Amino acid sequence: MVDISGKQATVRTAVAMTTVTMHPDTLQAIKEGKINKGDVLAVAQIAGIQGAKRTSDWIPMCHPLPLTGVNLNFTDNGLNELYIEATAKTEGKTGVEMEALTAASAAALTVYDMCKALQKDMVIGPTLLRSKTGGKSGDYLSEF
């Protein structure tokens, strides 16, 4: 693990995004609450938060962080794509990019799990870091 003991603690934020592509009727069933396993977006939100909190358990060499906030937003294109945006925040010596990416990924995997009985060929991705603030390397904003 990288030694961060000499780094300055700063307020840090990261925003990650992923997409789940599915049949239009699968997306409609999610929006109408017609998935047998329950409220897909509510469960995916909890999974994303739990994923962010446990990122250092999933990713080797990742520092455990005291998160000050995790938020997930779900939008769609009205056709066949569900967009998941995850924001992670901390005040610390290392960034929260991995926590935001893990949150988005865990939420997407949960959507897949809850809807796989209806559709097995959903596609997850691309998953990407949209932006980050704070730290020695400064701010970052994706061009995608």
pLDDT at residue 43, as a whole number: 98
Average pLDDT of every residue of the chain: 96
pTM to 2 decimal places: 0.96
pLDDT at residue 7, as a whole number: 86
pLDDT tens digits for the chain (144 residues)? 888 888 888 999 999 999 999 999 999 999 999 999 999 999 999 999 999 999 999 999 999 999 999 999 999 999 999 999 999 999 999 999 999 999 999 999 999 999 999 999 999 999 999 999 998 888 999 988
Can you list the positions of beta strands (E) in 103-142?
123-124, 128-133, 140-141
The tens digit of pLDDT for each residue in 46-84 reads 999 999 999 999 999 999 999 999 999 999 999 999 999
Pairing of strands 10-21, 81-92: antiparallel
The token duo for 21 is 């592509």
Residue 25 falls in the annotated catalytic set: no
pLDDT at residue 120, as a whole number: 98
Give the active site residue among 25, 76, 113, 121: 113
Q: What is the 3-state secondary structure (H, E, C) of 50-97?
A: HHHHCHHHHCCCCCCCCEEEEEEEEEECCCCEEEEEEEEEEEECCCCH
The Cα 48–Cα 42 span in angstroms is 10
Q: How far is CA 84 from the centre of its chain?
A: 7
The Cα 137–Cα 129 span in angstroms is 15
Nearest Cα to 73, choosing from 116, 35, 52, 104?
A: 104
